[in-house]
Amino acid sequence: MSSVSDWEAPNPVKDNRGGLIGKGVDRYEGPLKVTGTAPYAYEVQPPSPPAYGVMVGAAIARGRITAVDIAAAEASPGVLLAWTHMNAPAQPPRGTKGHPRSTQGSKPALESDRVAYFGQPVAFVVADTLENAVAASHLIRLSYAAEGHDVAFHERLDAAGQPPGEQDVEIGDFDAGFAASEVRLDETWTTPLQNHCQMEPCASLAWWEGPDRCVAHTSVQMVKPAQHGLAETLGIGRDDVHLLTRYIGGGFGGKGQTYDDLTLAALAARALGRPVKVAFTRQQMMHGTIHRPATVQRVRLGAGRDGRLNAMSMMTWTHCHRDGAFTEHASNFARSLYAAPNRLTGHRLVKLDLPHAGAMRAPGEASGTLSLECAMDELAEQLGLDPVELRIRNEPEVDPENGRPFSQRQLVRCLREGAQLFGWDRRLPTPGQVRDGRWLVGLGMAAAIRGNFLLPAKCSFSVDADGVITVRQGMTDIGTGTYTVLAQIAAETLGVPLGQVKVEIGDSELPPAPGSGGQFGAATAGSAALMAGMNLRRAIADLATGDPGSPLHAGDPGDVTFQDGVVAIENRSETLSDLIRRAAPEGLTVEGEIRPAQDAQKWSQQTYGAHYCEVGVDPVTGEVRVRRMLGVFAAGRIINAKTARSQLTGGMIWGVGSALHEGNPVDPRYGSLVNQDLAQYVLPVQADIGELDAIMLDEVDDKANPMGIKGVGELGNSGAGAAVANAVYNACGVRVRDYPITPDRLLAGLIAKGM
Amino acid sequence: MRPFTYERAASAAAAVEAAQAPGARFIAGGTNLLDLMKLDIEAPAHLIDVGRLPMAGIEATDEGGLRIGAMATNTAVASDPLVRARFPMLSEAIVAGGSPQLRNKARVGGNLLQRTRCAYFYDPTKPCNKRQPGSGCGALEGLNRNAAIFGASPSCVATHPSDMAVALTALDARVETLTAGGGARSIPVADLHRAPGDTPHLETALDDGELITAVVVPPAPTGGQAYRKVRDRASYAGGLASVAVAGGRLALGMVALKPWRATAAEAALVDGADPAEAIGRELAGASPLGRNDFKVPLVARLAVATMAEARAAANGGGQG
C-alpha cells in the first residue's frame, strides 16, 4: 500500500543540488525541431520506399453507401489499390478485444456501408506517389441513400438526457437558497463547437516485418491504447505491433486516440508488402477526428449583500455522437471553486449525428469558466464589489463539495499578486470610461482551476560505459516539454550534466506510461523517472562499494553521492564512466515505477491561477484586440520554467481564441462544419496577442507525487477566455454571452446601447 | 490535385499564345490557384508560369500616377516609396490582406483575379454555381455571415476577397492586358469583375487567355486617402467589410462579388450630403440575407470613420 507519506522523504529532485530543477532549460529536441529534422510520423524513413494512401470522406451525415465505383481510380496512373467497404480487408467488429486486458478494442476502417457522420473515411486509395493517390481519390464515385440527420444542437436541447451513469450533484437546497438570496443572477451562455487544429495533422506510416509483425509510426498522445487497438484491428498479438510516436506536432486531446489513418496504413502495408503512409488533410481533420462540442450553460448565483454566495448552480447542456459516450463536463470545476452552502451542478447530453465529440485542451474548464467566471463578474457589478474581492470573499476553507482539505490552494495569492503586478487598481468599475485613440480600453480578470492527477507509470534508466544516462519510457511529448523535463530529472537524480542524458520515448516497447493528457503527463512520467533514477543510484552505489577496484569499495552504499558525473563517498571518488567501464562494461539498466497513493483521495488536489487582461474595443466596428494579459499560477514545484511558461501562455492564447475567435458553425442542411481550413477557422495569430506573461508562484504540493509537482498543460486555458470577456465588458459596457465575441455580435450590443 | 503540365513563359507574347491550349491557366505567385488545385476546385491541364516575366517594375507615369507591373509582389508594391508617397491607402490596403508570407509570393495581377473565400465554394461536397455551374448556391440559405449585400443574385452571394482591388477601385485604376490575339486593352478595375447574375462562374471581363500586364493608377485625387478593414482577427483574415476612400471617391470591400464602387454615396457627397447621409444612400440599395445583416450598420459606421480619417490625412493629421 502506497501512501502520500511515502513521498515525504528527501530525494534529488527536492534537494536540487545541481540546480537543474526549475531552471528554464532549452528543449531537448529543440534543435531538431527548428532545423526541420525531427522525424514526425509521416517523415520517418521506412526500410523501403513507401506508397502513399489518401482517404476519401463521406459527403453525407447519416445514411448508407448504395453504390461504389472505383474502376477509374484503380485505372489511374500509379494506383496500387483502391478500397471501400466492398473490398476492404476483413477486420474484427468494432471494440473486439481478443486479449482481455487490451486498453483499446479493434477500430476497423471501411467497416460497412453505414455513414455515421459527415467526413467519415469511406474510401481509400494507395498509389506510388502522393500526387497519384490524390488524383485517383478524386475519381472515386460513391452513391448514398441519406437518412435524416440530427445535428441542430440548440433545437434539440429538449431531447437532452442525463449522461450515462451520472447524476446531478446537489448540496443543501439550491432552489430554496437561491430564492432566499438577496442578490440573484440567472444567465445563460453558449460556446460553439471547436476544432483542435494541431499543426501536425493525424498521420501514420506502417510496414511489416514478416507476416505477423507490424511497425507503425503515428501521431498519438497515448502509446499503449494505440498499440493495443491496432493489434486488435489487425488480429495479431499485441506485442506484434511496434508502435512509435517520437515527435508529435500538437495533440490537445485530439490525438488521445488513433484514427483510420493508422488502421489503413497498416492494412495497406500488409496487402502491398511495402510501407504505406497515410495522413489526414487539414480539411479532413475537421470532421474526421474529434472536436470540442458546443455547450449551453445556465449559471445561477444567489448572494447576500456582503457578496457571500448562498446558492450556486451551473448546468451544462452539450452533445456527442449518436454512438458516442463523451460528455463535456463544463460544470465540474464549479464544484471546487467557490464556497456556497446550496449548490447544484450537472450536465445534459444530446446525441447528434455530428462527428465524435471528445477531449480538447482543458475539457470542461475551457468551456465552463467562460460562463461562471463571467457570472462572477456580473455579480460583482450587481453588488458593487471588486471582482477580485468577490472571489476572495467566497474562498472556501475545504473543498465545498466533498469537505476534503486542499492539498494546496493558493488561489487568493494568485488573485492578489496578479492584481498587484497587473495594476488592477487602475480599473474603473464603470464600463466605457477609458479611451486610447479609437479604442475603448477595459480590464477584466478571472480565476483558473484545474484538477491534478497521478497515474501509474514505469520507466527505465540505463547507464553506459561513457557514463551516459538513458531514460526510456513509453511516454509522449506533444510539444509540452516531456523530453526536456525527463532529461532534467535524470540529470539531477544521477548528478550528471544535461549533456550526459539521453531520452527515448514514444515507443510501445519501452516501459509503459499513460502518455500526455489531462495535465498528468509531467507528474506521472516524471515521478516514474525519479523512481527509476533512484533505483539506478542504488544499483550504482552497490556496484561501486562492492567493486574492489573502486575507491568507494567497502563503503556504505547509502553514503554514495552523485555529482558532476562523479560518484563519491566523502573524499573517495571516481567518475561514473570509469566505474561503469571497469565494473559493468555492458552498462546497468533498472526500472522504476510510480503508483497513485491509496490515500491521495483524502485531499482535494487542484491547480489554480488568476488571469488579468486588458483589451481595446473599437466602438465603431466591434473589433476587440487584446493589449496585455497576465496569468499568475500555483501548480506545485515547476520543473522547467521555460516549458511550463510556454504551456501556460499557450493555454492563455487558447482562452483568447475561445473568447474572441474560435468556433465552427454547423450547417444543419448537410450536417457538416462550415470552416474546413485554417483560413476559415479563426485562431488567434501573433498580431492578436499583445503583451503576454505567465508567472508561477513558489509551491510544493507534497500530496501530489514524490516531486511535489503538478501539471500546467490545461490550467492556462482555464478562465483565460472569461478574463478577456470581462475586459470587453469593462471597455464598452456590452456583455456578449454567446461565444466567440466577434465584431458582429459586439456591434449589435454597441448599437443597442446607442453607441 | 490532378496531373498537369507546366511551362515557363519566355515572354508575355509567348504566354498568351501558349494559353490557347485547352485547359491552360496562368500561374504567378500561385497563392490561390495552388490551394484550389489541391482541393480539386481547379484542375487546369496546363500551367503557364508568368511569374518570372520582366513585368515587376513600379514606375511613375508622366501624369503623376503609377504604372505597376502585374508581376510585382504585393510586398514590393506596399513598400514602394512612390506608392507610399502618392497612394498611402493602396499600401495600407495591401498590408491589410493575407500574411507577410502570402504577400511575398502574391502578385498584383493574380491578386485581382483571386477567387472568393466563400466556404461553400471551398467544399466540393456542397452546391456552388461558381464551382459547378447549375448546382445551386449553398450559401444563399446557408451560413452566409460573410456573404454579399450588394449585387448578389440567387445564383451566387459570394464576395471578392481582395483588399488591394478595393483600393485600386477607389483610385480609379485600370488594368492593361495583352489579349490572345496579341492586342492591348485597358480596362477600369471597377469593370474588371462581373456581377454574378446567372453565370457566377464567369468572373471577369478578361477573355480566355488574356493576361494582365500592368495596373495603371492615375494621379491621386485631391483630398485624403484612407483604408479600413474589419476582420475577425488582427491579421491573416478575410474582411467582414472594408472601405477605401480617395478624396471624394469611395469603394467598399467584401460586400459584393467585386470591389464595390459606392457611386450613390459619391453622388450624395457631391450634392453636399454629410458622410453618414451619403453612405446611407448607398446602403439603401443593400440586400442583406439575414446572417450578414450586420454588414449594413458596420459599413455605415466604418465608412463614416474612414472618411473622417481621410479628411484628417488631407489636413496633415496623419492616420487615426
Asked if the Cβ–Cβ distance from B236 to A138 is below 8 Å, we say no
pLDDT at B315 over 90: no
Measured between beta carbons, the chain B residues lying within 8 angstroms of A669 are 141-142
The helix/strand count (H/E) of chain B reads as 13, 12
Q: Which three cell numbers stand for residue B19?
A: 494559353
Q: Which of A666, A744, A746 to mutate to test the interface with B (most CBs of B within 10 A)?
A: A744
Angstroms from A29 CA to nearest CA on chain B: 26
**ipTM of predicted complex:** 0.96
For residue A328, give the C-alpha cell. 463535456
Q: Is the pLDDT of residue B317 over 90?
A: no
Beta strands in A391-438 (DSSP E): 435-436
**Selection from A582, A519, A526, A194 nearest residue A333 by Cα:** A519
Residues of B in contact with A670 (CB under 8 A): 125-126, 138
* Cβ–Cβ gap B233/A684 under 8 Å: yes
Measured CA to CA, the distance from residue A366 to residue A489 in angstroms comes to 30
The whole-number pLDDT of residue A592 equals 98
Read off the pLDDT of residues A37-88 as tens digits, 9 standing for 90 and up: 999 999 999 999 999 999 999 999 999 999 999 999 999 999 999 999 999 9
% pLDDT > 70, chain A:
100
**Nearest Cα residue in chain B from A57:** B125
CB-CB: which of A283, A685, A742 is closest to B235? A685
Residues 130-149 of B with CB under 8 A from A: 138, 141-143, 145
- Local confidence band at B2 (pLDDT 50, 70, 90 cut-offs): confident
Burial A642-680 (b: 16+ CB within 10 A, else e): ebbbbbbbbbbbbbbbbbbbbbbbbbbbbbbbbbbbebb
Let me know if A287 is exposed, middle or buried by CB neighbors in 10 A (0-12, 13-18, 19+). buried
Domains of chain B as residue ranges with CATH: 5-52 (3.30.43.10)
Among positive and negative, which fits the CA dihedral A504, A509, A510, A515? positive
Instruction: Confirm or reject contact between A627 and chain B (CB < 8 A).
Output: no
Cβ of B235 under 8 Å from any chain A Cβ?
A: yes
B290 and chain A in contact, CB less than 8 A: no
Residue B318 has pLDDT above 70, yes or no: no
Please list, in sequence order, all residues whose beta carbon lies within 8 angstroms of the beta carbon of residue A289, skipping any fewer than 6 positions away: A196, A202, A254, A259, A280, A355
Taking the alpha carbons at both ends of chain B, their separation in whole angstroms is 45
Q: What is the pLDDT of residue A686?
A: 93
- Residue written as cell 468599475? A429
- Closest-CA residue to A393 (of A304, A505, A475): A304
Contact state of B142 with A674 under an 8 Å Cβ cutoff: yes
Asked if A748 reaches chain B (Cβ–Cβ under 8 Å), the answer is yes
Q: Which of B117, B301, B320 sits opposite A621 (nearest CB)?
A: B301
Is the alpha carbon torsion for A373, A376, A381, A384 positive or negative? Answer: negative
**Cβ within 8 Å, pair A661-B233:** yes
Whole-number pLDDT of residue B1: 79
Residue A755 per-residue DSSP state: -
C-alpha cell at B314: 488631407
User: What is the maximal distance between C-alpha atoms in chain A?
Assistant: 89
Burial of B143 (0-12, 13-18, 19+ CB in 10 A): buried
Flag residues of chain A having pLDDT under 70: 1
Write the CA distances from B165 to A106, A672, B210, B261, B301, integer angstroms. 54, 32, 18, 11, 21
What residue ranges in A465-601 does DSSP mark as E strands? 469-473, 501-505, 561-563, 566-569, 572-575, 588-594
H helix or E strand, kind and range, residue B297? helix B295-314
C-beta separation of A367 from A319 below 8 A: no
| Interface contact A743-B236, CB threshold 8 A | no
Name every residue whose Cβ is closer than 8 Å to that of residue A335 and which is 6 or more positions away in sequence: A169, A343, A345, A400, A401
A154 touches chain B (CB under 8 A): no
Smallest CA–CA distance, residue A57 to chain B, in Å, is: 10
Whether the Cβ atoms of residue A448 and residue A719 lie closer than 8 Å to each other: yes
Please report, as a single letter, which amino acid is at residue B124. P
CA A167, CA A171: separation in Å to the nearest integer? Answer: 13
Measured CA to CA, the distance from residue A475 to residue A439 in angstroms comes to: 47
Record: contact A676-B123, CB cut-off 8 A: yes
- Out of B125, B232, B240, closest to residue A59 by CB: B125
Q: Cβ separation of B125 and A672 shorter than 8 Å?
A: yes
> Which residues, including other chains, have CB under 8 Å from residue A121's CB and lie 6 or more apart?
A55, A56, A57, A58, A109, A110, A259, A260, A264, A284, A288
**Secondary structure letter of residue A146 according to DSSP:** E
DSSP string over A161-192 = BPPTT---EEES-HHHHHHT-SEEEEEEEEE-
Contact A471, A501 (CB under 8 A): yes
* A658-681 pLDDT, tens digit each: 999 999 999 999 999 999 999 999
Report pLDDT for B316.
75
Please state whether beta strands B249-253 and B239-246 pair in parallel, antiparallel, or not at all (unpaired).
Answer: antiparallel
* Nearest C-alpha neighbor of A635 from the set A693, A694, A696: A696
Mention every residue, 6+ apart, whose C-beta is less than 8 A from residue A68. A84, A85, A86, A123, A140, A141, A142, A143
Asked whether the predicted pLDDT for residue B320 surpasses 80, the reply is no
Q: What is the DSSP string of A290-337?
A: -BBPPEEEEEEEEE-TTS-EEEEEEEEEEEEETT------TTTTHHHH
Q: Which domains does chain A have, with CATH numbers?
A: 4-38+455-595 (3.30.365.10), 41-360 (3.90.1170.50), 363-453+601-752 (3.30.365.10)
Given strand A469-473, what is the order of strands in its sheet? Answer: A501-505, A469-473, A457-463, A588-594
